Amino acid sequence: MAKAPTIRDVAARAGVSVATASNVANGNRPVGEASRKRVLAAIAELGYQVDRAASALRGASTRLVGMIVPDITNVFFASLIHGVEALAERDGYDLLLASTSEDEAIERRRLHALVGRRIDGLIAVPASDGSMASLAASGARLPPTVLVDRGAESPVFDTVRADCETGGYEAARHLIALGHRDLAMLAHSGHLQNMAERIAGCRRALGEAGLAGRERVVYGGHDLESLRGAIETELQRAGPPTAILALTNVCALAALKAARGLGLDIPGDVSIVGFDDFDWMLALRPYLTTVAQPVDDFAASAWALLMRRMAGDVASPVERILLPCALKVRESTGTARPRLEAFAEAQARA
Amino acid sequence: MAKAPTIRDVAARAGVSVATASNVANGNRPVGEASRKRVLAAIAELGYQVDRAASALRGASTRLVGMIVPDITNVFFASLIHGVEALAERDGYDLLLASTSEDEAIERRRLHALVGRRIDGLIAVPASDGSMASLAASGARLPPTVLVDRGAESPVFDTVRADCETGGYEAARHLIALGHRDLAMLAHSGHLQNMAERIAGCRRALGEAGLAGRERVVYGGHDLESLRGAIETELQRAGPPTAILALTNVCALAALKAARGLGLDIPGDVSIVGFDDFDWMLALRPYLTTVAQPVDDFAASAWALLMRRMAGDVASPVERILLPCALKVRESTGTARPRLEAFAEAQARA
DNA sequence: ATGAAAGCGCTAACAC
DNA sequence: GTGTTAGCGCTTTCAT
């Protein structure tokens, strides 16, 4: 690692002052054509690169954006990061990544670290709906921030999320139309608003069909194994559900695994509707009926919102972007059978 | 965002000099018990945080580590990032993330950006085996760097990777023991050494069984769809393979999808061995026989190596860590059937 | 349109 | 053990 050239080297080589060199490099002030060319040449020859640490110190932006998600390993969040990273690079920003493992204490720590880096902006999928707001209230010096997927009710942050209520509603309608009367919803936690909305949508559909109160909600945490255990228990009850509405892609995986473990046929014995739509689902047999969320649009909207704020727009009121979900009917849902019959058969097979 | 307290504020409040305050904050020099306590108190009261931009400028480390991967969306890389991020946070480093989409030009650009941030170290899964070496040769000022999964032959970088040759060997042995004589290997590219090693391992097994030259190698690029198309074509030939050795998790997905699309029974008509072992595979039916790579160990080893170099050890010779794979025999592999029979049956079903 | 110079917050060298 | 001070590389007034 030889010593990197500084702006002074550039200036010297171009025969101008550092101020001029700086102005060329950043385009902050107009520079005469002749000197501009010479500076540009010097920059190219030296392989000069602005030292962001120094410019940040001087008060300019760091061109650093923080991104914080619960779990990179979850395709949904990974895709989000992927989308944001591409946009960030396009606009000359770098991405500082942190993950929280769904833990608010870790989130606070990580966020503190990011803020200490003087990030220009932050895109976050918070560990809980209120965590960012309370962090901000407790005096954290947050940069412009947009919340994705969670914390949508926040009065202080721009937010982007899917229309979960309608997503849940349509999934339930689909199931009801197939004759299902006993639905189980599999969710991570009752404390997350997006989960609550999906459940609310489902209840609305049930209510409209005169089926209010027939549904069960199963909370299984964030871990795949515990989710599987939770829905398995539900499936083993007397009078089990004929259909499962899995409220995230991890829940869908858990539901599939549980049904399979119990020797249940899908959709013969249980229908399953999942959430999200990613490559790995393509190889699932049966091919999962699912409520797809427009992840790439999440990334694009979040980035656009963030850029606007980072550009200095503090005046506009908080914006809440709601993106539509799309029900993709595939192979994992079918007509409901009398549940006793299905149950007896499964027992016999086992 | 109120103005952040500086070390001068801390020093003033604690009634000591900035040097003392700095030494407490960084533990660089011993400080008397009494002043230390007062400084610590001041730091806590003010919510002071070291400004890394400033300390970096002064020559100290940025405590920033770069990580560059081909595709965050691939669970393998996502898991790697996950592991590294946890370790980095434990040791007080932050992670600057970049992805390359398997493109060397993008890689160069992203790397340039990271280096401009004065990262203390870099963990990279390069777009090609030689890209980092040539970057370094062409004068890029790379910090301590460890290469993971690719570029293992590099004479300049520490590397961590799986024992791909043995992995391929064992997978092929398994298949041969089941009576398979016509194997197809599905790989991304012939230019990647890890792919080549998996293929070499397979060939060794074939050779030992007196079956040299019976295998076919199919290259399908990095895209799922093109991989699927490539292996589908192979499956439709006269005299198709009775077993597929898919050399990455994406290849496995593609093979599964292709076989399924052709109406082939797995493992009745074709056996499939995949690579990697992640959650989403749990729901695959049949449950995939696979060569698992110890991703968490990749992360741990890479981090350990990097920390050693970042701590200033430039003397030790380049280290090459080779981690063992584990063959997990599950449901997607079975005894081979006479291929004509299988082919005819599939035709009939179609 | 250009230059000189101040100083961002910090650490390390040097005094004491 | 503690304090003083000189810059790190940059942007940005303020002059010219």
Task: Say how far apart CA A270 and CA A341 lie, in whole Å.
Answer: 12
Average pLDDT over residues A288-310: 97
pLDDT of residue A53: 86
Nucleotides of D under 7 A from a protein CB: 1-5, 7-13
Q: Which of B57, B96, B283 sits opposite A256 (nearest CB)?
A: B283
Share of chain A above pLDDT 70, in %: 96
Lookup result for tokens 């040769």: B137
pLDDT-derived band at B4, boundaries 50, 70, 90: confident
Of B58, B68, B15, nearest in space to B302 by CA = B68
The per-residue pLDDT of chain B, averaged, comes to: 92
pLDDT tier, B345 (very low <50, low <70, confident <90, very high otherwise): low
Q: Which nucleotide is nearest to B17 (CA to C1')?
A: D3
CA distances from B239 to B181, B202, B234, B302 (A): 11, 20, 9, 44
pLDDT, tens digit, 9 for 90 and up, residues A75-133: 999 999 999 999 999 999 999 999 999 999 999 999 988 988 889 999 999 999 999 99
CA distance A206 to chain B (A): 29
The distance (Å) linking the CA of B24 with the C1' of D8 is: 21
**Residue B88, CA distances (Å) to A308, B122, B186, B297 in order:** 31, 12, 35, 14
Q: What is the CB neighbour count within 10 angstroms for residue A319?
A: 15
Residue A349 has pLDDT above 70, yes or no: no
Residue of A nearest to B144 (CA): A1
CATH superfamily membership of A64-163+295-322: Response regulator (3.40.50.2300)
d(CA A342, CA A48) in angstroms, rounded, equals 71
Q: Minimal CA–CA distance to A87: which of A160, A166, A38? A: A160
Is the domain spanning B7-50 CATH 3.40.50.720? The answer is no
Residues of chain A with pLDDT > 90: what percent? 77
For B143, the closest chain A residue by CA position comes to A1
* Beta-bridge partners for B322: B161
Cα of A218 to nearest chain B Cα, Å: 20
User: How confident is the model over A253-297, as pLDDT tens digits?
Assistant: 999 999 999 999 999 999 999 999 998 888 888 899 999 999 999
**Per-residue pLDDT tens digits for A214-243:** 899 999 999 999 999 999 999 999 989 999
**In this predicted model, what pLDDT tens digit does every residue of B62-81 receive, in sequence order?**
999 999 999 999 999 999 99
**A249 close to A221: Cβ distance less than 8 angstroms:** no
Q: Residue A75's pLDDT is what?
A: 95
User: What is the nearest nucleotide to A9, using C1' and CA?
Assistant: D9
pLDDT of residue A350: 63
Q: Kindly list the residues from chain A whose CB atom is less than 8 angstroms away from the CB atom of residue B141.
A: 1-2, 4
Q: How far is CA A151 from CA A52, A113, A134, B99, B260, in A?
A: 32, 21, 11, 28, 41
State how far the Cα of A328 lies from the Cα of A326, in Å rounded to an integer.
Answer: 6
pLDDT of residue B47: 87
CB spacing of B96 vs A96 below 8 angstroms:
yes
Q: At what angle do helices B75-90 and A104-116 cross, to 10 degrees?
A: 80
Average confidence (pLDDT) over A2-20: 89
Do A276 and A75 meet the contact criterion of CB atoms below 8 Å apart?
yes
How far does A117 lie from chain B, in Å, by closest CA?
A: 6
B285 and chain A in contact, CB less than 8 A: yes
- pLDDT confidence of residue A337: 76
Q: Check pLDDT > 50 for residue A327.
A: yes
B62 touches chain A (CB under 8 A): yes
Of A51, A81, A260, the CB nearest to B285: A260
Q: State the pLDDT at residue B209.
A: 95
Out of A51-60, B29-38, B234-243, least confident range: A51-60
Q: CA of B253 to nearest chain A CA: how many angstroms apart? A: 6
Question: What does the alpha-carbon distance between residue B184 and residue B199 come to, in Å, rounded to a whole number?
Answer: 10
Strand C nucleotides, any atom under 7 Å from protein beta carbons: they are 1-5, 7-13
Q: With CA atoms as reference, report the closest residue to B188 among B120, B258, B255.
A: B255
Segment A240-254 mean pLDDT: 96
In angstroms, the CA B236 to CA A4 distance is 57
Q: Where in chain A is the domain with CATH 1.10.260.40?
A: 7-50
Structure confidence at residue B60 (pLDDT)? 78
Residue B3's contacts (CB-CB under 8 Å, 6 or more residues apart) are: none
The strand pair at A145-148 and A158-162 is best described as: parallel
User: How many C-beta neighbours within 10 Å does residue A147 have?
Assistant: 27
pLDDT of residue A205: 97
pLDDT in tens, B221-267: 999 999 999 999 999 999 899 999 999 999 999 999 999 999 999 99
Residue A197 has pLDDT above 80, yes or no: yes
Q: Which two tokens stand for residue A156?
A: 């202080």
CA separation for the pair A146, A125 (Å, rounded): 9
Higher pLDDT, B305 or B338: B305
As given in the structure block, the two tokens for residue B135 are 């970057």
CATH 3.40.50.2300 maps onto chain A at 64-163+295-322, 164-293+328-349
Pairing of strands A289-292, A145-148: unpaired
Question: Is the Cβ pair B95, A97 closer than 8 Å?
Answer: yes
In terms of pTM, does the model score above 0.85?
Answer: yes
Mean per-residue pLDDT, B150-171? 96
What is the average pLDDT value for chain A, to the nearest integer?
A: 92
- The sign of the torsion formed by the CA atoms of A206, A209, A213, A216 equals negative
**Residue A227 CA from chain centroid, whole number:** 20
pLDDT at B338: 65
Whether the Cβ atoms of residue A254 and residue A235 lie closer than 8 Å to each other: no
Q: Report how far apart the first and last C-alpha atoms of chain A are (Å, whole number).
A: 66
Does CATH number 3.40.50.1970 belong to domain B164-293+328-349? no
Query: Are A325 and A292 within 8 A, CB to CB?
Result: yes
- Apex CA B296: angle with CA B290 and CA B298, to 5°? 90
B197 CA from D9 C1′ (Å): 47
